[in-house]
Structure 1
Amino acid sequence: MSVTESLLAFLLAASLLTVTPGVDTALVLRTAATEGSRQAARAALGISAGCLVWGVLVAVGLGALVAASDLAFTLLKWGGAVYLCWLGMNLLLRPRPVVLSEGDLSSTGTAWFAKGLLGNLLNPKIGVFYVSFLPQFVPAGFDATPYTFGLACLHVGLGLVWYTALILATRPLSDLLRRPKVSKTLDRMTGAVLLGFAVKLALTRR
């Protein structure tokens, strides 16, 4: 497999995986709809940073530890499930009663970056996915470490494009989506989705 063939195959596969609905999509959509594009962008950057960390770990071989060690996988799995459960319960039971302007929300940007980051770092499925998925696209004769990390960066780039599209798609409906009743409904729906992903992650087997 040549470099061109490798990159084209990876772009196709990674693009399909990127647009498949998951925790990251739900988090970015909810944040964009109820708290504005800047907060959603910070959440997206946190998600991307988490993917980059996993990319580094997999490139240097530490990701294989998560894939091979039952203890490491289980600890991360339950940590991620508890974290998603905490996020989901907060949104479900304590939806935002008042939707603030983006200017009023500027101080919470770090919090949304952290939520996106932790959501990925505490998900061992991402590490296992990178360990099993990325090496398939390394052409023969190439150093796997830098090439694998390059593929992870490409995956992050695709994710950022997708999150940008999601954020822009909510802008025409921002006034409607930021109404208190609609915002509460979105919070509760997103909370239920995150709880579902928490259960799915907790029940994941190697």
Structure 2
Amino acid sequence: MSITHWLSFAMASAVLLVIPGPTVLLVVSYALGHGRRFALATTGGVALGDLTSMTASMLGLGALLAASATGFTALKWAGALYLAYLGIKLWRTPVGDSQAPDTSMMHAGKVFAHAYAVTTLNPKSIVFFVAFVPQFIDMQAPLWPQMALFEATFVALAAINALGYALLAANARQAIRSGRVQRVVNRAGGAMLVGVGVLAATWRTASK
């Protein structure tokens, strides 16, 4: 594989990743609600989720989901319901006046699992990888080394993108001191997550 193939894939992936989707919205919501505390946990969950989805697509799961309307619909609804559940939880997150939201019941492992589940349970990502990756494969070179390099590149870029969104949102949160404002932010983020859950169940186009 030439450097041109790899650079084309990396540039296309970077452009696609910065477009907000369910995963980015989850990262931003956690950062706004809890600051930098869970930035690394959400980033790790996103990276592992992308690794799982991309590996599954490389192994043929994407083709299976594309061919099976029932399997695609079931996984799509599971992901949509999970997004709605997280949105409701964020809406109900308690806040204190002039204090950060109460995170005593949260821990990094749970946040990591949430980010991983939201990223992995998006069947459109799996189907998207099947349609996206082959465009950059050099048929004159060994197949699996190229796929491994593409997967590593995409996961690394996804992690950098998620961390960037988390840090930007966390920095914006530092300016928020009022519990009332924090409550509005949490409820707005929660409402958006529920909305994305509904859209995820109805959209046919791939989004990340």
Report the TM-score range of the alignment, normalised by the length of the smaller protein.
Answer: 0.7 to 0.9
136-145 or 43-52, which moves further after superposition? 136-145
Q: Structure 1 residues 163 and 189 mapped into 2: Cα distance closer, same or farther (>3 Å)?
A: same
Q: Letter of the aligned partner of 2:157 in structure 1?
A: L
Looking at structure 1, the residues matched to 59 and 40 of structure 2 have their Cα atoms a distance apart, in angstroms, of 29
Q: TM-score, normalised by structure 2?
A: 0.86
**Higher deviation after alignment, 169-178 or 124-133:** 169-178
* Secondary structure, counterpart of 1:112 in structure 2: helix
Structure 2 gaps of 5+ residues are none
| Letter of the 2:85 counterpart | W
Asked if the contact 1:43–1:116 (Cα under 8 Å) also holds between the matched residues in 2, the reply is: yes
Code of the residue aligned with 1:191 in structure 2: it is G
Partner residue in 2 for 1:95 = 93
Residue 80 of structure 2 aligns with an amino acid whose one-letter code is A
State the alpha-carbon separation in 2 of the partners of residues 58 and 149 from structure 1.
12
* Aligned equivalent of 1:116: 115
**Residue deviations 1:127-181 (CA, integer Å, cap 9, x gap):** 0011110111111123333422321221111122222222332454443236422
Cα contact 1:46–1:116 (8 A) shared by 2: yes
- Aligned 8 A contact 2:32 2:169 in 1: yes
Report if aligned partners of 1:76, 1:122 keep a CA contact under 8 Å in 2: yes
Q: Give the CA RMSD over aligned residues.
A: 2.3
Aligned residues: 203
Matched, 1:57 2:56: yes
2:69 aligned with 1:70 = yes
Mapped to 2, the partners of 1:31 and 1:13 lie a distance apart of 27
1:83 corresponds to: 82
1:19-73 Cα offsets, whole Å, 9 max, x none, are 0011222221222222122312201211111110112112222232122211211
What TM-score do you get using the length of structure 1 for normalisation?
Answer: 0.87
> What secondary structure sits across from 2:20 in the alignment?
coil
Letter paired with 1:24: T
Whether 2:185 is the aligned partner of 1:191: answer no
Specify every segment of 5 or more residues in structure 1 that has no aligned partner in the other structure, as ranges: none
Q: Residue 84 of structure 1 contacts residue 119 of structure 1 at CA under 8 Å; is this kept in 2?
A: yes
1:21-36 alignment, distance < 5 Å: 21-36=20-35
Residue of structure 1 equivalent to 2:180: 181
The more displaced of 110-119 and 40-49 is 40-49
Structure 1 contact 73–124 (Cα < 8 Å) conserved: yes
Is the contact between residue 96 and residue 183 of structure 1 (CA under 8 Å) also seen in structure 2? no
Corresponding position of 1:20: 19
Q: CA deviation at 1:107?
A: 5.5
CA distance in 2, matches of 1:148, 1:154: 10
Deviations 1:59-91 (A, max 9, x none): 222232122211211110111111111111222
